[in-house]
Amino acid sequence: MLYPSIDSLMNKIDSKYTLVSVAAKRARQMQQLNDQQIAKTVSTKFVGKALEEIEAGLLQYENAEKK
């Protein structure tokens, strides 16, 4: 079973494309800076940790089109 579920993540971010982009960017940032925001994660990989941060509401993104 995937954690966090795609349904709960889609409540946080409006599209799957944006979800993938935000998670990938945060995963690269975590890998380079080693600055994980959640103390204990279910996932061991950076993308999974980024998705858990999105689920927890720790990541914010700005939509450039809505400016």
Find, among 48, 62, 57, 49, the residue nearest to 18 by Cα: 62
Which amino acid belongs to residue 65? E
Q: What is the pLDDT of residue 1?
A: 52
Find, among 50, 24, 22, the residue nearest to 36 by Cα: 50
- Which tokens in the block code for residue 7? 């349904």
Position 67 pLDDT exceeds 60 = no
Rounded alpha-carbon distances, angstroms, from residue 9 to 21, 51, 60, 64, 67: 13, 8, 13, 20, 23
Residues 13-61 pLDDT 10s:
889 999 999 999 999 999 999 888 888 888 889 999 999 999 999 987 8
